Amino acid sequence: MHPRKLLVLLIFISLSFHPDYVLPENVNLDFPFFTLRNITLLGDSYIRNGVVGLTRELEVPSSSSGSVIYNYPVAFFDPETNITASFSTRFSFSIDNVNPSSFGDGLTFFLSPNNQTLGSPGGYLGLVNSSQLTKERFIAIEFDTRQDLLFNDPDENHVGLDINSLNSIKTANSMIQGVNLKGGNLITAWIDYENEKKKLEIFLSYSSFKPEEPLLRVGVDLSDYLKEFMYVGFSASTEGSTELHFIQNWNFRTLGFRPIRPKIHPYNVSESSVPLRPPITVSDSGNRHHKRIGLGLGIGFPAFFCTVLVGFGWISIKKWKGIKSERTIKAEMVTGPRQFSYKELKSATRGFHSSRILGHGAFGTVFKAFFMDLGTISAVKRSKHTHEGKTEFLSELSIIASLRHKNLVQLQGWCVEKGELLLVYDFMPSGSLDKVLYQESENGNPLKWTYRYNSAVGLASVLTYLHQECEQQVIHRDIKTSNVMLDGNYNARLGDFGLARLMDHGTSPVSTLTAGTMGYLAPEYLQYGAATEKTDVFSYGVVILELACGRRPIEREDESQKPVNLVDWVWRKYSEGKLLEAADQRMNGEFKEEEMKRLLLIGLSCANPNSSERPSMRRVFQILNNEADPVVVPKVKPSLISRTACH
């Protein structure tokens, strides 16, 4: 090969392995009027003649809430450079009323990590769910038209900065600058945040000219609250009023990210950049020197060429094996989920950056992925291509791809490239049940009883589906709180089917190597390795007791550090006639006693050492919904009946 061609080939190869990172860019959105092209309407919001209406247009007092959100997440933080963006927005709005004496409640401009932000009517401004006041995460500017003492409002005509709470950090009465929020006139608002100066300013005017002085100036550092990506939008609400909320136009931009420079290739060099060298003096030994160079090149280039050839052959074989493996997986894959490209997933996870890690599991690492072209967020499970990993990957892919249930984490797609296995799932914004039940409880925000009970019902529903309603029975084998995810409304979704097995209905279980997590494994499964629907029921029972008690399956006593089994601990309370003492103390008694007792007894009946005494998941689901009588639970925990004893 000619040396010049070889050099170009090597440059090309080196460039092809250059990492493909997507850097955040400044955005500039401009909506002189609104269409459905790039926005999502939630709740009671609508578009009419290019104007967004956020609440119902009725002549009689009503309760209403609505929001409008830009479809695509906006970058606010770059973990590579540790830069937080500044932002500036301008919009024109009006708050009108059919009946001037019937006012309330106002509207907000907000930034949120959630693209499904729709709150309750009334003083919650369509921004916060009344039952999840401490769970919401947002930055909002409120334009409030009703004094709500619940949120310490100063008056019924004010602007305020809200961060994760409707109790404003600072407020100002808009009449200071002669602007009546609820007068029905078109008002233009400017909101500017400078990250370097840690300053936020809000301006209001009836005209299109920005005032010299802000209505409200707040010294605040928003870098702790501006996540890597956020959604931007507006919300509004009413309660027992005829107030109307309109957004007529909107401009939004971020500032501060470095412009993306075009890549400079090594061979794009101008003459002026080449250093001048002094002339070389030719001596008499030049001919001998040239001969030695020629000899070296004559031997070196063929050897170098052979090395490149061997390397090319090795890469080709590896690529061929990868294609063969991918074809094998495609052949075993059922139709349905989309096949993603590796480049797509790498870009969406910022090169699988550590800042995007959501968690780790037996299968591999889970990353948060932003698909900018789709305006969606997903979770990507990544595993190296080992034989064992491939087996689990194929198992999970072939099983969950054909499943459809509201309490399952839905599979979106998959990818097999570059020796890696990747699964793409719906992103669950509230995280795992394990995290919410323990970590957030420790921070003073215990999971509410309603969500706990609903989680128990949801899991019973999906396990009934897996065990009895699918064409083939699905045994999950790894039911635990860390594999139960919570969506934005805290509905339980079962995930991680890496250990799941398919069985024909009515067939005998096949003994396998025991897999799963200690504390959740049924006694007969530990002894014989035979996974059945009853072993799933046992694991479910442990999860139910965790929901009721707020304790892990195995905990150590404070003084002796002796491990205490949760099932034994609850059964002992039940034997002593003190069952309700097992309830999670962090809830401070804020639960329905009848439901708590029902959940504890179901947990014990499912965790019965003897599998034949455990109820089916259908029976559990019916009991939880008051459609069947509870299972009778013996006061003393039964002893395990072995197989030999049964014979």
- Note whether residue 635 is domain-resident: yes
Q: Give the mean model confidence (pLDDT) for residues 182-186.
A: 90
Beta carbons of 526 and 486 less than 8 angstroms apart: no
Beta carbons of 380 and 345 less than 8 angstroms apart: yes
Q: Which of 100-109, 270-279, 628-637 has the lowest mean pLDDT?
A: 270-279
Cα-Cα end-to-end distance for the chain: 78
DSSP, res 89:
E
Tell me what pLDDT residue 22 has.
52
Q: Give the mean model confidence (pLDDT) for residues 595-605.
A: 96
Residues 111 and 40 in one domain: yes
Q: Which of 112-126, 370-384, 597-611 has the lowest mean pLDDT?
A: 370-384
Residue of higher predicted confidence among 27 and 6: 27
Residues 493 and 349 in one domain: no
The single-letter code of the amino acid at 403 is: L
Burial status of residue 435 (CB atoms within 10 A of its CB: 0-12, 13-18, 19 or more): middle
For residue 20, give both structure tokens. Answer: 């493909």
Residues 418 and 561 in one domain: no
- Note whether residue 204 is domain-resident: yes
Distances (CA, A) of 133 to 166, 226, 300: 9, 19, 73
Q: Give the mean model confidence (pLDDT) for residues 372-384.
A: 80
What's the pLDDT band for 318 if we cut at 50, 70, 90? low
Residues 506 and 358 in one domain: no
Tell me what pLDDT residue 442 has.
56
Q: What is the CATH number of the domain that holds 602?
A: 1.10.510.10
Distances (CA, A) of 441 to 134, 556, 570: 12, 18, 20
Residues 241 and 360 in one domain: no
What's the pLDDT band for 306 if we cut at 50, 70, 90? low
Q: What mean pLDDT value characterizes the chain?
A: 80
pLDDT over 70 at 264, yes or no: no
Task: Read off the pLDDT of residues 212-258 as tens digits, 9 standing for 90 and up.
Answer: 999 999 999 999 899 888 999 999 999 989 999 999 999 999 998 86
Task: Read off the pLDDT of residues 335-360 as tens digits, 9 standing for 90 and up.
Answer: 467 889 999 999 999 888 888 888 87
DSSP string, 17-77: TS---------EEEESS--SSSEEEEET-EEETTEEE-S---SS-EEEEEEEEESS-EE-E
Tell me what pLDDT residue 393 has.
61
Tell me what pLDDT residue 355 has.
80
Tell me what pLDDT residue 512 has.
52
Q: How far, in Å, CA of 570 to CA of 566, rounded? A: 6
Percent of the chain with pLDDT over 70: 75
Tell me what pLDDT residue 343 has.
92
Beta carbons of 544 and 603 less than 8 angstroms apart: yes
Tell me what pLDDT residue 12 has.
43
Q: Which residues are annotated as a binding site for ATP?
A: 381
- Note whether residue 582 is domain-resident: yes
Q: Which range of residues forms the domain containing residue 130?
A: 28-255
- Note whether residue 616 is domain-resident: yes
What's the pLDDT band for 647 if we cut at 50, 70, 90? very low
DSSP string, 496-555: --TT-EEE-TTPPPPB----S-TTSS-HHHHHH-B--HHHHHHHHHHHHHHHHH---SEE
What's the pLDDT band for 631 if we cut at 50, 70, 90? confident
Q: Is 195 helix (H, G, I), strand (E, B) or coil?
A: coil
Tell me what pLDDT residue 294 has.
53
Tokens 């968690």 -> residue: 359
Tell me what pLDDT residue 538 has.
96
Tell me what pLDDT residue 307 has.
66
Residues 447 and 418 in one domain: no
Task: Read off the pLDDT of residues 80-95 as tens digits, 9 standing for 90 and up.
Answer: 888 899 999 999 999 9
- Note whether residue 274 is domain-resident: no
What's the pLDDT band for 501 if we cut at 50, 70, 90? low
Number of C-beta neighbours around residue 173 at 10 A: 16
Residues 412 and 445 in one domain: no
For residue 334, give both structure tokens. Answer: 């059922």
Tell me what pLDDT residue 455 has.
95
Could you say which of 234, 255, 276 is where a domain stops?
255
Instruction: Write down the pTM of the prediction.
Output: 0.57
Q: Give the mean model confidence (pLDDT) for residues 128-152.
A: 86
Q: What is the CATH number of the domain that holds 363?
A: 3.30.200.20
Q: Which residues are annotated as a binding site?
A: 381
pLDDT over 50 at 19, yes or no: no
pLDDT over 70 at 504, yes or no: no
Q: What is the CATH number of the domain that holds 214?
A: 2.60.120.200
Tell me what pLDDT residue 277 has.
36
Task: Enumerate the active-site residues.
Answer: 478
Percent of the chain with pLDDT over 90: 42
Task: Read off the pLDDT of residues 438-484 as tens digits, 9 standing for 90 and up.
Answer: 876 555 678 899 999 999 999 999 999 999 888 788 888 889 998 89
pLDDT over 80 at 288, yes or no: no
Tell me what pLDDT residue 602 has.
97
Residues 407 and 440 in one domain: no
Task: Read off the pLDDT of residues 386-406 as tens digits, 9 standing for 90 and up.
Answer: 555 566 666 666 667 778 889
- Note whether residue 91 is domain-resident: yes
Residues 32 and 93 in one domain: yes
Q: Give the mean model confidence (pLDDT) for residues 373-395.
A: 70
Residues 216 and 361 in one domain: no
- Note whether residue 438 is domain-resident: yes
Q: How far, in Å, CA of 128 to CA of 120, rounded? A: 6
Task: Look at the chain and report how many structural domains it folds into.
Answer: 3
Q: Give the mean model confidence (pLDDT) for residues 516-523.
A: 83
pLDDT over 70 at 13, yes or no: no
Residues 394 and 455 in one domain: no
Residues 412 and 449 in one domain: no
Q: Give the mean model confidence (pLDDT) for residues 268-291.
A: 39
What's the pLDDT band for 26 if we cut at 50, 70, 90? confident
Could you say which of 255, 279, 307 is where a domain stops?
255
Tell me what pLDDT residue 385 has.
52
- Note whether residue 322 is domain-resident: no
Q: Give the mean model confidence (pLDDT) for residues 58-83.
A: 88
For residue 599, give both structure tokens. Answer: 């959940």
Could you say which of 426, 448, 463 is where a domain stops?
426
